[in-house]
Structure 1
Amino acid sequence: MYTMVLLDDEKIVLQGIQKVCEKEDCGFLVKGAFVDPLKALDALPELRPHLIITDVRMPQMDGLEFAKRAKEILPESEIVILSGYRDFTYAQTAMKIGVSDYLLKPIKKADFSDMLHRMYARIEAKSGQAAYYQVLDGYARGLVGKEEVENVVSSSAMKDVGQRPGMVNPEGDQSATKIVRDALNYIKKHYNENISLTDVAEHVNVNKSYLCDVFKKEQNVTIINYMTNLRIEKAKELLVHTDMKMYEISVEVGYNDYTYFSQIFKRNTGSTLSEFRKKYARK
């Protein structure tokens, strides 16, 4: 589960962003929401968010200066700036600092949602690279065997092939429909194993961005939301038809973090787990 921190000097804007993030369920949990950039900077070392979203115009400190300082504290975190300035120099400065994205206000909900999915895929990709180099380092230290290194290198090469234009599938014969069908089958079979977008993309041998695009076009729902909806429906069945404990149901439908699962369930159903069971369970 990836985390994010929000920064805007207007509380109503923060609340609006939080609602969109919760509704979209793009794989991020809001760990902190701040109106004061200095307090946000102080909290970063402890919160260590994967994603930081900040407004560019604030009285105490502008978003560009905040982004620069945040990068010094957490160089690996992705930073997105929300701005009403259409001046290209602002965006250019942001990119030099290391900002990942720059959205212009007023921001459409669809654009914000797309940004969250891009950031999710980007963080997933970095996580995969970290694991890759960790294995190579382990081999150099004599802690990992040759076979494991070969498996990792082979897997990485396959993903690189899938990321080249015109070579989405190594076999060259997968249509978008077949890719989505294979992804759906994989999700339905493994939804209870805490699988991620990376797992699905690797299974169908395409990169995450391409998979997100074709899945949304074919199913009219994001792949993250599809997995969430499937898990919620399965959880409903278990709540109604079994006596399993709540935390057991959480694990059974692919959420090892029970607290997060409880939050997702309430956001999607409007009821807590216990309320839903009490209302619909067979007497």
Structure 2
Amino acid sequence: MYTLITVDDEKLVKRSMAALIEEGDCGFTLVGEAKNGEEGLTLACNVQPDLIITDIRMPKLDGLAFIERALHEVPNCSFIVISGYDEFSYAQRALRYGVSDFLLKPIHPEQFLEALQKVKNRLDEQQEHSSNRDLKLSLIQHYGDVFVEELWLLNEDSCYQKVNEFHQQLGEDIASTHLQYYDDLLRYTIERLNKRGTELSQYSFRDEIRKEGSLAEALKEVFKNILHHLKVKRNVGRRTHILEAVEYIQTHFHHEDISLQSVADRVQMSPAYFSMEFKKEMGITFKQYVTQKRMNRARQLLEDPTYKTYEVAFAIGYGDYPHFTKTFKKCMGLTPTEYRKRLGAH
């Protein structure tokens, strides 16, 4: 249900309009009345109506001046003008302000309700268009974020599967509006990838459409090119980043707070991608590598009888001694105490 207010200095006219609005099942609710333009302006500011029905000639502030000022306060509001004067100049000026209709007094019920229906139809269309736009913008943002992650992780099959999902959401209609949504999705995705340092240039989606003929296939082709770019770029830079990470781990493995996240952040990679590339380069996982470094250092320290076993744990980054003991036994087959006894260093 939409809202409206009436602005008129004639009580009888306002009463007549109120009755028609209530009885006419016109899709509007009357939420306020004013007797002049100044009161109408205050009321409009307070209730923010969808429609204002106003007289032309009123005391203090005439109808056209009122409309001009009201448009600044309620910019999306519609207006219907009523007048006791059949003056073409008024109608012309009213239409310049975007007024929906110009009615003459005395008000004829059929004309009045017809004017309300026209406004309602337009508001319905605007609401539907706005809802569709919001839905599709939401889809663009959602799938754009998904594509950023899938492309970043080089998940080609998953990326193409998501293209099919997005395609089903929007449909195959190759209309200008749909093309614009695909353009917007691609622009959104590339902008966010570039924030991660990919240095991608903008692709022409419309050129791909001309080659592929299908929205989904065109988008897949663009993503295929992006994936190729990322693979080439990473093959060059991957080893440098992983070696930098290894050097950092070698000098910081004894810090209790060292983590996959912290090291990935240091080399400016996402944790998931860093984890995958680290194992690819080193042959073991990040956690296994850190544990390996810690256990090697633990063995060295256990050879020194001046260190108590719990001090060894703290020295290599374990704040929890039982966890250190459990990890050491898993790696070495002996507890730290058993290992030390085996060495004869107790």
Normalising by the residue count of structure 2, what TM-score does the alignment of the two structures yield?
0.42
Identity of aligned residues (%): 33
Match of 1:75 in 2: 75
Match of 1:126 in 2: 126
Distance 1:149 1:68, change over 3 A: farther
Distance 1:97 1:151, change over 3 A: farther
Structure 1 runs not aligned, ≥5 long: 158-283
After TM superposition, list the pairs within 5 Å mapping 1:23-172 onto structure 2. 23-142=23-142, 146=166, 147-150=168-171
Structure 1 contact 91–102 (Cα < 8 Å) conserved = yes
CA deviations over 1:81-125 (Å, ceiling 9, x no partner): 001222211111111111111112222111111111111111111
Letter in 2 for 1:132: N
CA deviations over 1:119-154 (Å, ceiling 9, x no partner): 111111111111122123223333697344449999
Letter in 2 for 1:15: R
Query: 1: CA distance between counterparts of 2:174 and 2:122?
Result: 20
Letter in 2 for 1:117: Q
Larger RCO (CA under 8 A, 6+ residues apart): 1
Query: 2: CA distance between counterparts of 1:102 and 1:153?
Result: 40
SS at match of 1:82: strand
Letter in 2 for 1:30: L
Query: 1: CA distance between counterparts of 2:50 and 2:32?
Result: 12
Normalising by the residue count of structure 1, what TM-score does the alignment of the two structures yield?
0.50
Following TM superposition, by how much is the alpha carbon of 1:61 offset from its aligned partner in structure 2, in angstroms? Answer: 1.1
Distance 1:153 1:79, change over 3 A: farther
Following TM superposition, by how much is the alpha carbon of 1:43 offset from its aligned partner in structure 2, in angstroms? Answer: 2.3
Match of 1:256 in 2: none
Query: 2: CA distance between counterparts of 1:97 and 1:111?
Result: 21
Structure 1 contact 34–40 (Cα < 8 Å) conserved = yes
- 1:22 maps to 2:27: no
Query: 1: CA distance between counterparts of 2:98 and 2:140?
Result: 31
Aligned residues: 156
Match of 1:248 in 2: none
Letter in 2 for 1:77: C
CA deviations over 1:32-88 (Å, ceiling 9, x no partner): 011132122122233111111001110111111111111111121110000122221
Letter in 1 for 2:137: D
CA deviations over 1:184-213 (Å, ceiling 9, x no partner): xxxxxxxxxxxxxxxxxxxxxxxxxxxxxx
Structure 2 runs not aligned, ≥5 long: 145-164, 179-346
SS at match of 1:43: helix
Match of 1:229 in 2: none
SS at match of 2:142: coil
Structure 1 contact 71–98 (Cα < 8 Å) conserved = no
Letter in 1 for 2:7: L
Query: 2: CA distance between counterparts of 1:151 and 1:54?
Result: 46
After TM superposition, list the pairs within 5 Å mapping 1:128-277 onto structure 2. 128-142=128-142, 146=166, 147-150=168-171
Letter in 2 for 1:89: S
Query: 1: CA distance between counterparts of 2:124 and 2:5?
Result: 18
Structure number with greater Rg is: 2
Structure 2 contact 37–59 (Cα < 8 Å) conserved = no
Query: 1: CA distance between counterparts of 2:111 and 2:98?
Result: 20
Distance 1:152 1:59, change over 3 A: farther
Structure 1 contact 135–149 (Cα < 8 Å) conserved = no
Structure 1 contact 132–152 (Cα < 8 Å) conserved = no
